[in-house]
Structure 1
Amino acid sequence: MTITFAVRGDHIQLDQLLKACGLVDSGGAAHAAVESGQVRVDGRPENRKRAKLRAGQRVRFGDQDIVLVAAQT
């Protein structure tokens, strides 16, 4: 399944994105998922919990794909 997420502003942190998409219940759960290697950004494993993500990037968590797009103003 693919989720399209509109980034407001310049970026969103990876942990905040996972929470905003409803894929984790808390920041701690987001941090644990990243630390355990469950998250990929643009096809590569990401171990930075607060990685700054921008429109045009793709995140994979479990069976979920998240496509980041620029928010319409």
Structure 2
Amino acid sequence: MSSVRDVTINEEPIKLGQFLKLAGLADDGSHARVLLEAGDVTVNGEPEHRRGRQLRGGDVVAIEAERARVVLA
């Protein structure tokens, strides 16, 4: 499994759709929606389909081998 890349946010929570874009895992909101609808996104190892899922520091979002951790600034 690949290493986890830390992505810093200024305040929590952050919505999953926003975090996907910030972390570079999705190109834009519509791409994030497609990834979620396809079941390609996991949060802390569990499948997630909701763009509005609230993420907090320490949460790990993954799409295939790419993993990004939410880190509060």
Q: TM-score, normalised by structure 2?
A: 0.87
Corresponding residue for 2:11?
9
* Consecutive aligned runs of 4 or more in structure 1 exceeding 4 Å deviation: none
Residues 1:27 and 2:65 are matched in the alignment? no
Residue 52 of structure 1 is aligned with which of 54, 64, 71? 54
Q: Which runs of 5+ in 1 are unaligned?
A: none
Q: TM-score, normalised by structure 1?
A: 0.87
SS in 2 for 1:29: helix
Alignment of 1:33-44 (within 5 A): 33-44=35-46
Give CA deviations for 1:4-27 in whole Å, capped at 9, x if unaligned.
011211211111111112222110
